[in-house]
Structure 1
Amino acid sequence: MTRRRNRKLDQWITFWSVPFFFNIFGLVFVPLSWMMPPRSPSASTPDIVAFMQSHNLLVACVLLTLAYGLAPVSNAVYLMQIKRMSVSPAFRYTLMTGAITGAIVGMLFPMFCFGLGAFRPGYSPAVLSMLYDFGYLAFIGSLGCFCVMWMAFGLAILLDTNNVLPKWLGYYTVWQYMTELMAAPVWINRSGPFAWNGLMTFWFTMVLYVSWQLVVYTCIYRSIKKQPESELDNADLSTVATDSRTGVTA
């Protein structure tokens, strides 16, 4: 007796790549480089130079370079669910484009800025300070990209009539990413709750984001489990075809 192939294996591989990617992401940005939690925008020049010339930054950037390809794989989790919804492909394309833009600005730019400081120890303190500002502003100040893409995800859930994901998740998603607009003041505030390391701009937003991510992936996990095999692009249609004479599914 032949073993029945799991036709959702590709989706499960994509799904479980997400926690793997975010664990590497957290390893790079926290214990390896200590880029996060964000350092002060008003840090002294000697502190900035010491941080930017840390050898750990090079190791962190190498790891992030190797793991960067998992970013589009993780976003495919959302795209596959939107494809099942009764909404325009425009929502899927918006999320895809926003994810590409956000990954470039929010991950590649900081990686190059911080890594370049460690790779070229001969840079002047003024150049290192500029790279320091550029890296943090790109990472935290570019959240408008993510706001638009996740708004598209939330609206797709709300407009969907196939009930792929629960409606309350759509409201939660829209509300959650409206809070990302609080990142805008990082461009004009160097201290206080709206600086890039501030209570509202970083800590409040991060708590909301992490809790939202956990809820979303729980819902997506359930959605993949409940998805009928007849919907799958890789389904063997001969196994789900209905006999026209008997009306019985083979």
Structure 2
Amino acid sequence: MTVMAGWRKSKKLDQWIAFWSVPVFFSLFGLVFVPLSWMMPPRSPSSPQAEIVAFMQSPNLLVACVILTLAFGLAPVSNACYLNQIRRMSVSPVLRYSLMAGAMTGTIVGMLFPMFCFGLGAFRPGYDPAILAMLYDFGYLAFIGSLGCFCIMWMAFGLAIILDQNHILPKWLGYYTVWQYVTELMAAPVWIAKSGPFAWNGVMTFWFAMALYVPWQMIVYLCIYRAIKNQPDDELDNAFLESDLAATRSKASA
């Protein structure tokens, strides 16, 4: 009870709620795209039409879409955690706005579009195989080929860390983020290559990018944790509101 009371009195409670909702979202995201629907790892662009039809009409896709629909609202929360820390940095707000715009664009194209494409294929049996093949291509090209939407987003994040003089996040994380951003550029050839290392399921386009992205995302998450933990209470917005309220009460009593 004492621990719970301490948490409830914490001025960072709202940040911690947002922070701990992030692994919940990524867990649901992974459940949807891997064991439930087997959308990932990506299937081949040159899969036989019979395999495409069987995949696109799997009932599991509908269950996956239901879970993703319910979990989708948690997607902006992780970005909000990043934005809150960037606001503490000695950099222009333009970098924060760039990250925000990139996150919104990438989420719509890279999450909603594939969900609708794969879910639509399974929603009504009897679609023409050619239509299912088009939805299959659309879904994967949106999911993998939209990684370029995140280029400006992560470049802004990396630059904010590198240029920051307040040392909110470690400088090496900024350089790591810029390097991770380079892997997003590898998504561009998926619109040209239908096989080989630069197809949407290729070694360079998907596997190499994931080998860099997954550990990077975990490291960023840990660094954000430390930044929230080390943030002084007097920097918090609710601390300012509390002091203003106290000043108002003092004036009223006087």
TM over 0.5, shorter chain:
yes
Where does residue 10 of structure 1 map in the other structure?
14
* 1:17 positional shift: 0.8
Q: Deviations over 1:161-188 (max 9, x none)?
A: 1110011110110111112111111111
Q: Deviations over 1:69-126 (max 9, x none)?
A: 0011121010100011111111111111110000000000000000000002121000
Among 142, 166, 178, the alignment partner of 1:174 is 178
Where does residue 125 of structure 1 map in the other structure?
129
Stretch deviating more after TM superposition (124-133 or 211-220): 211-220
Cα distance in structure 2, aligned partners of 1:176 and 1:164? 20
Q: Does the Cα contact within 8 Å between 1:230 and 1:237 map onto a contact in 2?
A: no
* 1:237 positional shift: 2.4
Q: Does the Cα contact within 8 Å between 1:28 and 1:63 map onto a contact in 2?
A: yes
TM-align CA RMSD: 1.6
Where does residue 71 of structure 2 map in the other structure?
67
- Unaligned segments of structure 1, at least 5 residues: 242-250
AA matched with 1:113: C
Among 42, 53, 57, the alignment partner of 1:53 is 57
Cα distance in structure 1, aligned partners of 2:246 and 2:163? 29
Q: TM-score, normalised by structure 1?
A: 0.93
Specify whether residues 47 and 163 from structure 1 end up closer, same or farther in structure 2 by C-alpha distance, changes over 3 A only: same
Matches within 5 A, 1:72-91: 72-91=76-95
AA matched with 1:237: S
Where does residue 224 of structure 2 map in the other structure?
220
Aligned residues between the structures:
240
Among 142, 146, 150, the alignment partner of 2:150 is 146
1:211 aligns with 2:215: yes
Structure 1 runs of 4+ aligned residues shifted over 2 Å read: 236-241
Among 96, 100, 105, the alignment partner of 1:96 is 100
Stretch deviating more after TM superposition (107-116 or 162-171): 162-171
- Unaligned segments of structure 2, at least 5 residues: 248-254
The 3-state SS of whatever aligns with 2:133 is helix
Cα distance in structure 2, aligned partners of 1:44 and 1:238? 66
* 1:239 positional shift: 11
AA matched with 2:80: A
Where does residue 245 of structure 1 map in the other structure?
none
Among 22, 25, 35, the alignment partner of 1:21 is 25
The 3-state SS of whatever aligns with 1:69 is helix
Q: TM-score, normalised by structure 2?
A: 0.92
Cα distance in structure 1, aligned partners of 2:69 and 2:196? 33
AA matched with 1:213: Q
* Identity between Structure 1 and Structure 2 (%): 77
Among 240, 243, 252, the alignment partner of 1:237 is 243
Higher fraction of helix: 2
Where does residue 252 of structure 2 map in the other structure?
none
Cα distance in structure 1, aligned partners of 2:119 and 2:113? 10
